[in-house]
Amino acid sequence: MRWDIRLAGFGGQGVIRAGEILGRAAIKQGLDSAMRPMYGPEKTGGWSRADVVISDQPIIFPLIVRPDILVAMSQDGMNRDGSSLKKDGMLLIDGELIKDIKCYPSKIYSVDATSIADNLGRRIVANIVMLGAFVKAFGIVNEDILLQTIIETFPRATELNKTAFKLGVENVKEVKI
């Protein structure tokens, strides 16, 4: 099985780092993975995107044309990349920031990642909240392996990231279309 996953948002949200973590967790699980970061010319605040391919077979063509899953962390990311989602694709949004859905997915999941991160006192962990929501909604990678990969990536923020991840898992919900 091959999963084409696009994470979209703006610079400073940790979109690309989340894509890296997701890809590394897949590799630890014995899957193949490829990640392609893309971003605008701005240092912070411009558009940002990470395309992650995860497969149980070797990845021959790592580019994503129509993702199976879109993770939108900002309205701009939704506006920019919503139309690329496959017709039967699935969507995970930051429900607090996305008000206008620009596609017709088969399923929509939502978590207020930015609000949860703000309540933890560190907005930068919104990407970790989204990874928790991602693993609960889609189950492509193992939850324990993904959390361990996050901890290995940010060893000095272990407790904060464990809490952010757990809150993402606990607070994601399916939105009825």
Overall fold of domain 2-175: Pyruvate-ferredoxin Oxidoreductase; domain 3 (3.40.920)
Q: What is the length of the chain? A: 177
pLDDT recorded at residue 74: 95
pLDDT tens digits, one per residue of 19-56: 999 999 999 999 999 999 998 887 677 889 999 999 99
pLDDT tens digits, one per residue of 93-147: 999 999 999 788 999 999 999 999 999 999 999 999 999 999 999 999 999 999 9
∠ CA 53-55-56, rounded to 5°:
165
Per DSSP, the three-state class of 8 is strand
